[in-house]
Amino acid sequence: MRGMTARTILLLLILGVGAGAQTRTPDVIFVPTPQEVVEEMLKMAKVGPADVVYDLGSGDGRIPITAARMYGARGVGIDIDPERIKEANAAAQAAGVTDKVRFLNQDLFTTDISEATVVTLYLLPSLNLKLLPKLNRELKPGTRVVSHSFDMGESAPVLQDNFNGRPIYFWTVPIAVPGGR
């Protein structure tokens, strides 16, 4: 920031440039998980008040907000789109759970997720597979991972359900990687 005026630096900070905000294009378009599926995912993961639920690609924040509202869990939403973060923060405010949830405008592939006890996903299978090494590397054994609609290739889930025509997959860390990859 050397050579910039104080006004330019202030403008960049307001816009989030250089302050951790992400600028690359999102990997998927935002499609919200239906609320009844959110509730089924959290139920499948047996979320409770001691849990920290990380939603990777959190969109409007409904999963962390529901985890906080229904189960008293803490929640963290990670999304690369600043507009989704604004929506999520507004929704958390409206739900009265800002003391339990936070939303980070970051890249889910580079953000530290080691605090999570539950991770939720609604990403394409290719992205789930790309995340698999990170999940196994950063999460503690026994951490629960739940995915709406998409599996992780040949990594067999512990549980699989079809809720109102929508697949839900459940794994616990470490997640077996076929072929040892």
Task: Evaluate whether 29 touches 127 at the Cβ level (below 8 Å).
Answer: no
pLDDT at 59: 95
CA distance between the termini of the chain: 41
Q: Give the Å distances, CA to CA, from 58 to 6, 11, 14, 51.
A: 34, 27, 22, 17
- Please report the DSSP string for 145-180 in residue order: EEEES---TTS--SEEEEETTEEEEEEESSPP-GGG
What class is the 21-180 domain? alpha beta
DSSP state at residue 101? E
pTM for the full predicted model: 0.84
One digit per residue, pLDDT tens: the chain, 181 residues? 444 444 433 333 333 333 444 456 767 778 889 999 999 999 999 999 999 999 999 999 999 999 999 999 999 999 999 999 999 999 999 999 999 999 999 999 999 999 999 999 999 999 999 999 999 999 999 999 999 999 999 999 999 999 999 999 999 999 998 776 5
Structural domain spans, the chain: 21-180
